[in-house]
Chain A
């Protein structure tokens, strides 16, 4: 008897709780920055493409929806010639972001990607690239790497000694 009354009371009390349903799309809730939505490619603080076409996002992708081709500019800086995400296959797991060694690929709190045609869900590099560094300001992979690229000679990286003089016998 008591348990029946308690159940009725519990259900009745719910009427006075704060509503959590949001009247989307008229109303919108705030999404956390770490929400895993539409994927973007970011730029480093110098405004250049962060992606170095290492293929790690593509290999981490469980549905194999990322494909790209690496190429290099004349100064030896590697970047993707094309970078394609098939969002009609993407499951927004975020593995690509986790695998990315240069903070280039990031998931954003945007999920409004509905389309009538599946082909419109195929995003090329132009569609993915944004103009800022996204969630990770400050990081510039090429400053850390030992590679010589345009604007950074050998030994000018943040972790590098100046190049050694092979002919020197000094200790």
Chain B
């Protein structure tokens, strides 16, 4: 810690940061544009000027740019100095010369960094009588709206898009005051991280096109902390609702996982919540035709009581019940189903190959000494080996973390030259094209190949061969492949490549192995574990990450359900005649014929889901389940980190969370399970009692009874408008806001204005900071942990040391690997119209192949 003097008051700050960061961390309102905690400092906008003094006798001082000044012992500056203030005001005035008169129709209005900074500097009257420069806009695809007139040339967009996300098709063109940020021609932005430009851009050049369809100001959104449901990474999001429809997804900062960024699938996939395919009322087909004769078309809407009685009737007459859970339903819903049906009748609802892989991954995580890294830890790796996983398509944010890890070499070089690491241009200049080694061995090209030291695009069995060779270079005791070793695969010399990779991994301080379920290959996962084990035995602090493809794959697997094949057998043997399917389309999990046969044999099919699909079409009873935005629950991500998503809004009609429906069924059938599942906390308490693995789940998030100074945490901003008029077309009586019994959040603008604990943050706002940059005010130090951060834990802790090497059998591996697409492979986001426009033409594909 060093002491600096700001306006003659001493402050203790960390030495390895720039002055702007230090001032913001201390709570000073210092305006800035080009600096961003994730993009570091380039000193382009001249907005963060302060005055520096030589010593306490110096009265004159000189103006410096705080973002380009390192903090040093005894540094004396003034933020409040009139000259520095006038300078900052002048800069904003100059930026506003060409800024259009757009705020009322600009989507950034009300959460605009430029608005905030203009107010902060005190510039409020236009003196210039000259005209404003204008630009033609571009069509940047279905996600982003482009309005170049509003640009203030801070260069954040290209620095993010090219420097962080590795995109190539956005750049700056032109000269002097004509510079233009865009593509070479109209067309969708290629990078899967383009949506972050919405939050990166300090003004309204890049805005959310999907939000534009149903535009709502930030202050009018009812928001709640949520978790992305479109892949296994578990990025934290803030979801916003207005008038009963979900309006947008924004990033919620979690230092360990997504940091400042989201992928486009996570940001724009939300529209399935508003989809016309939603199930909004219970549907009952009557009368049930006898098994095997096909089922009547379309159920008829029924009311809640009728349908519950009907289900109770079905269940009481059932010969046996098969309950199929889902990797895209919450842990609580799965657990409630497991309790309803009993442990032996619960099937996890993951495809067979995938389930065996996921069980293997869980075994490895339990027994392997290699820890399962968070994205932040992945970012810190200095050598990465990716085995068989197409990260940009299956776990995009993990790909982004690996991309950042590849820059660690540059930071190393810069640190050796004693350059400050926050000085972006200096670091990039010193590092040139140096990269930390990333090796990608995958079935096909990936969009991460550009940072790879070497890539090998080989069939799955050859991936296993190569990986096995690497592991043997690390430890000759590893059992060789039982058959089919080769010296050359697809023109790559196995021995040389294996030797190179093994050497790099051995020389690294933090080697990282990444694999996953993408290849649907046991061999790939096992060799990855073998390599990690070998490195660990050599004393390396190795990390081993496995990407899984759905938001709660690990949760569903950890509950210990049986496989889908077993369910088919049970049905075939006639041991059961009733099926309850929770948020799952079986046609995506197994081949069509077996599913047809399975569903055909079932006498009664009960489906709980939020969207119609082929399985729900065949159901006798369909219950409208809530999506992530309309219910609360827990999801477990790829590293077994449980995270809570919260109800954003109360759905209309009979829609309710899966676990609430199951609770209602239990009540209707007078199920013996004691206690009931009236609230989320009840289920979690019961779950942590019954399953020791989930013992810590209750401490994850403050319970529903948590209050700050006796108050709940509001979901609505204190500026929430239209309260007495939004439903006035239906009734002039204003009902009491709904009560949320499942979380400490309130469906109201009333409540504590204090910063809540991190899992309860539902918006970023601070006086004077209306944009997302208000996040600075929520962090202990800018770019660091949040205040009141409760660092989430992994369910599976490192136990370590007892694992054996796997003996790998090539014959089990599939010959071909499925192809994945960030837009199109995931079931829910697929229903989003914006995402649909970016989907490759995959209509004819086997649905399982796109999982």
Seen from chain A, the residues whose Cβ lies within 8 Å of a Cβ on chain B are 52-56, 58-59, 61, 63-72, 78, 84-86, 88-89, 101-102, 118-119, 121-122, 124, 141, 144-148, 154-155, 157, 159-169, 171
B726 within 8 A of A: yes
Q: Per-position contact with A for B114-125: 1 when CB-CB < 8 Å, else 0? A: 000000000000
Q: Give min CB distance, A150 to chain B, whole Å.
A: 14
The answer to whether A72 touches B721 (Cβ under 8 A) is no
Residues from chain A with Cβ under 8 Å of B217 in the complex: 55, 59
The one of A66, A86, A155 in contact with B134, judged by C-beta atoms closer than 8 angstroms, is A155
B785 within 8 A of A: no
7 CB-based A-B contacts, threshold 8 Å: A54-B105, A101-B104, A118-B732, A146-B101, A147-B147, A160-B134, A164-B174
The answer to whether B134 touches A161 (Cβ under 8 A) is yes
The answer to whether B136 touches A64 (Cβ under 8 A) is no
Residues from chain B with Cβ under 8 Å of A84 in the complex: 725-726, 728-729
Residues from chain A with Cβ under 8 Å of B134 in the complex: 146, 154-155, 157, 160-164
B215 within 8 A of A: yes
Residues from chain A with Cβ under 8 Å of B180 in the complex: 164, 166
Q: Roughly how many angstroms separate A56 CA and B109 CA in the complex, as a whole number? A: 10
Q: Roughly how many angstroms separate A84 CA and B104 CA in the complex, as a whole number? A: 19
B719 within 8 A of A: yes
- Residues of chain B at interface, number, CB under 8 A: 44
Q: Give min CB distance, B107 to chain A, whole Å.
A: 9
Q: Roughly how many angstroms separate A162 CA and B133 CA in the complex, as a whole number? A: 7
The answer to whether B721 touches A66 (Cβ under 8 A) is yes
Q: Give min CB distance, A62 to chain B, whole Å.
A: 10
Q: Give min CB distance, B775 to chain A, whole Å.
A: 22
Q: Roughly how many angstroms separate A72 CA and B213 CA in the complex, as a whole number? A: 8
Q: Give min CB distance, A27 to chain B, whole Å.
A: 33
Residues from chain B with Cβ under 8 Å of A59 in the complex: 217, 219-220, 719, 721
The answer to whether A85 touches B101 (Cβ under 8 A) is no
Q: Per-position contact with A for B207-227: 1 when CB-CB < 8 Å, else 0? A: 000001011110110000000
The answer to whether A145 touches B101 (Cβ under 8 A) is yes
The answer to whether A58 touches B215 (Cβ under 8 A) is no
Given A64-B721, A160-B134, A166-B180: A69 and B214 interface contact (C-beta under 8 Å):
yes
Nearest B-chain residue to A143, judged by Cβ: B101
Q: Roughly how many angstroms separate A67 CA and B721 CA in the complex, as a whole number? A: 7
Seen from chain B, the residues whose Cβ lies within 8 Å of a Cβ on chain A are 100-105, 109-110, 131-137, 147, 149-150, 173-176, 178, 180, 212, 214-217, 219-220, 243, 719-726, 728-729, 731-732
Q: Which 10 A-B pairs have the closest CB atoms?
A: A146-B100, A67-B722, A54-B104, A58-B721, A64-B723, A67-B725, A166-B174, A146-B149, A86-B725, A70-B215
Residues from chain A with Cβ under 8 Å of B147 in the complex: 147
Residues from chain B with Cβ under 8 Å of A163 in the complex: 134-136
Residues from chain B with Cβ under 8 Å of A144 in the complex: 101
The answer to whether B219 touches A145 (Cβ under 8 A) is no
Q: Roughly how many angstroms separate A144 CA and B99 CA in the complex, as a whole number? A: 12
Nearest A-chain residue to B149, judged by Cβ: A146
The answer to whether A168 touches B724 (Cβ under 8 A) is no
Q: Roughly how many angstroms separate A58 CA and B214 CA in the complex, as a whole number? A: 17
Q: Roughly how many angstroms separate A171 CA and B709 CA in the complex, as a whole number? A: 61
The answer to whether A122 touches B131 (Cβ under 8 A) is no
Nearest B-chain residue to A76, judged by Cβ: B105
Q: Give min CB distance, B639 to chain A, whole Å.
A: 41
Excluding A64-B724, A164-B180, 14 further A-B contacts by CB distance (< 8 Å) are A55-B216, A55-B217, A59-B219, A64-B721, A64-B723, A66-B725, A119-B731, A119-B732, A159-B101, A160-B131, A160-B134, A166-B174, A166-B180, A167-B173
Residues from chain B with Cβ under 8 Å of A54 in the complex: 103-105, 109
The answer to whether A122 touches B728 (Cβ under 8 A) is yes
Nearest B-chain residue to A155, judged by Cβ: B134
Q: Roughly how many angstroms separate A159 CA and B97 CA in the complex, as a whole number? A: 11
Q: Give min CB distance, B125 to chain A, whole Å.
A: 15
The one of A67, A88, A157, A164 in contact with B178, judged by C-beta atoms closer than 8 angstroms, is A164
Nearest B-chain residue to A117, judged by Cβ: B732
The answer to whether A146 touches B174 (Cβ under 8 A) is no
Q: Roughly how many angstroms separate A148 CA and B137 CA in the complex, as a whole number? A: 9
Residues from chain A with Cβ under 8 Å of B100 in the complex: 145-147, 157, 159-160
Given A55-B220, A164-B135: A66 and B173 interface contact (C-beta under 8 Å):
no
Q: Roughly how many angstroms separate A115 CA and B132 CA in the complex, as a whole number? A: 50
The one of A58, A146, A154, A155 in contact with B220, judged by C-beta atoms closer than 8 angstroms, is A58
Q: Roughly how many angstroms separate A141 CA and B48 CA in the complex, as a whole number? A: 33
Q: Give min CB distance, A7 to chain B, whole Å.
A: 49
Given A145-B101, A159-B132: A58 and B722 interface contact (C-beta under 8 Å):
yes
The one of A67, A154, A157, A168 in contact with B726, judged by C-beta atoms closer than 8 angstroms, is A67
Residues from chain B with Cβ under 8 Å of A69 in the complex: 214, 216, 243
Q: Roughly how many angstroms separate A145 CA and B109 CA in the complex, as a whole number? A: 14
The answer to whether B721 touches A55 (Cβ under 8 A) is yes
The answer to whether B724 touches A65 (Cβ under 8 A) is yes
Q: Roughly how many angstroms separate A119 CA and B730 CA in the complex, as a whole number? A: 9
Looking at A78, A88, A166, which has the most chain B CB atoms within 10 Å of its CB? Answer: A166
Residues from chain B with Cβ under 8 Å of A162 in the complex: 134
Residues from chain A with Cβ under 8 Å of B176 in the complex: 171
Q: Roughly how many angstroms separate A70 CA and B110 CA in the complex, as a whole number? A: 15
Nearest B-chain residue to A60, judged by Cβ: B721
Q: Roughly how many angstroms separate A144 CA and B103 CA in the complex, as a whole number? A: 11
Given A69-B243, A146-B149: A86 and B724 interface contact (C-beta under 8 Å):
yes
Q: Roughly how many angstroms separate A147 CA and B101 CA in the complex, as a whole number? A: 9
Nearest B-chain residue to A162, judged by Cβ: B134
Residues from chain A with Cβ under 8 Å of B150 in the complex: 146
Nearest B-chain residue to A53, judged by Cβ: B215
Residues from chain A with Cβ under 8 Å of B174 in the complex: 164, 166-168
Nearest A-chain residue to B174, judged by Cβ: A166
Q: Give min CB distance, A82 to chain B, whole Å.
A: 8
Q: Give min CB distance, B559 to chain A, whole Å.
A: 42
Residues from chain B with Cβ under 8 Å of A169 in the complex: 175
Q: Give min CB distance, A90 to chain B, whole Å.
A: 9
Nearest A-chain residue to B212, judged by Cβ: A72
Q: Give min CB distance, A155 to chain B, whole Å.
A: 4
Q: Roughly how many angstroms separate A56 CA and B217 CA in the complex, as a whole number? A: 9
Residues from chain A with Cβ under 8 Å of B720 in the complex: 64
Q: Roughly how many angstroms separate A166 CA and B148 CA in the complex, as a whole number? A: 12
Nearest B-chain residue to A160, judged by Cβ: B134
Q: Give min CB distance, B170 to chain A, whole Å.
A: 14
The answer to whether B133 touches A161 (Cβ under 8 A) is yes
Nearest B-chain residue to A144, judged by Cβ: B101
